[in-house]
Amino acid sequence: MKKHLYFAFSIVVSLFSCKSSTEQKSNTKVDHNTLLVAHNGSVFSVDLDGNKISWQHDSSLDTGGNRNYFAIDGQSIYLPYESGKLVNYDVTTGKIIWQEQIYGAEDQPMAMSSDPNDQAEMIKALMPLYMTTPLIDNGHVIIASTGQPTQATGWLYSFNKTNGSKKWTEQLPTTFNFYAPVRYKDNYFINSAVYLNKYSVNEGTWTSYGMFDGMEVAGEGSSSGDPNHFDKPIYNQMQANDKSMFIGDESGKFYCLQFDKNGNLPDGDITDPNNTFIRNPKVFKWVFSDEQFNFQKSHITFLDDNTLYVEIKTGLADQSCIFALNADNGEVRWKKIIKGDVFNWALQGDKIVGSTENLIFWMNADGKNYVEMQTVNKPLSNIELRDKKYLIFATKDGIESLDIDTKKSKVIFAKTFVENTFNNIQIKYLPK
């Protein structure tokens, strides 16, 4: 596989942890306490009450790793694979409800071989085709593709949530598409390297949102200058609420934009070369940055109760800081400095949980009551909160459960997990 060719610069190595950070309100029903696990091209469901695997699927082309994250909606789990498959599984039974394959060439459809082995080799040459998380929005599954930068083009897809039929596709400006789109003001927005693009919900039509687009203006000839973009790649999971959209770049700078009801910046001039994010920063409602913490690596964000939660590191990643920002003005509500490089963290109900190379930590969502402890086995996955008392996560020995009262941990499901740079391990706890 050509995974090593994919990264054009070193900062992208940190994108293995990218994920959609919006915590979905799950309405999923299960018959027993369930843990869904995605790892190295496999997805399986663990019956925690019976201590057994209820169902499992393996993708033969993705056994070397799968840097994607699934999304859950109702009784469905939607999982993309680097091989270009997007599969909708039934959470309870594991049945494949639908499956769609992309090849990253929507403008020039490829002729695929009828021989399965030849087709597999052709797909391997195109991988990775997905490195992201899908957005489940009403009847749509919205997802962006990636690919080898010198060989492929990125695309935004809308699939029918029920049957997987392709509703529309639209070409993206780059292949660096690692995050779930967001819906804001009845449009989809996606961050692609330094670009922020807007697409209509039903047709997928690319439209301007009021900034200079560098395109020819009718009756005025060709405009000069670069089209609108950010100064640095906006490698963070974007967030949005009714009022604002929140965007972060790789240096840990966060921006707030407020559009009108049509998804446009008020009084925007698409013909003015100075009307860009770089030359006209007044378009932002607010901008947040910190002098000490100026490096993004986990790219995880959360938006809850009008608070934007972000994590930024020092340049050497010897310290990390979780900031809770007032979504209205960007002011710091609180911050917590954590020694070391935070590998993974999440907002779980009323708690924030996370880990570094040597620590597991948790605290209240208001930043109070911070607790940390040394780990025996390093968490290799995200950490889930179970019954408000237990933290569960994957380690090299299997699924472990940590009692936050006694600070004692034990393996509750034995299985070997191997740390792999080219793989994400994702878990999701579903109570019965």
**pLDDT of amino acid 31:** 95
* Domain span at 226: 3-430
Mean of all residue pLDDT scores within the chain: 90
Domain with residue 230: its CATH number is: 2.130.10.10
Adjacent-strand bridge partners of 398:
395, 414
Q: Could you give the CA distance from residue 18 to residue 297 in angstroms, rounded to a whole number?
A: 9
How is residue 122 written in tokens? 């052709």
**pLDDT of amino acid 340:** 95
Alpha-carbon distances, residue 195 vs 174, 236, 254, 277, 377 (angstroms): 8, 12, 15, 10, 39
Three-class secondary structure of residue 15 per DSSP: helix
DSSP conformation class of 17: G
For residue range 319-333, what is the model confidence (pLDDT) as tens digits?
A: 999 999 999 999 999
**pLDDT of amino acid 1:** 38
Q: Which of 334, 349, 336, 342 minimizes the C-alpha distance to 390?
A: 349
Residues 11-24 as b/e (b if ≥16 CB within 10 A, e otherwise) read bbebbbbbbbbbee
**Which residues does the chain have with pLDDT short of 70?**
1-26, 109-110, 215-225
What's the pTM value of the predicted model, to 2 decimals? 0.92
Adjacent-strand bridge partners of 248:
254
**pLDDT of amino acid 425:** 97
Residues 310-336 as b/e (b if ≥16 CB within 10 A, e otherwise) read bbbbbeeeebbbbbbbebeebeeeeeb
For residue range 92-101, what is the model confidence (pLDDT) as tens digits?
A: 999 999 999 9
Q: Which of 23, 38, 33, 5 minimizes the C-alpha distance to 417?
A: 38
How is residue 52 written in tokens? 């057994």
Tell the burial category of 229 from Cβ atoms under 10 Å away from its Cβ (0-12, 13-18, 19+): buried
CA dihedral over 315, 189, 366, 298, signed as positive or negative = negative
Q: Which of 316, 307, 327 minimizes the C-alpha distance to 367?
A: 307
Beta carbons within 8 Å of 122's beta carbon, 6+ residues apart: 110, 112, 113
Give the count of domains, the chain. 1
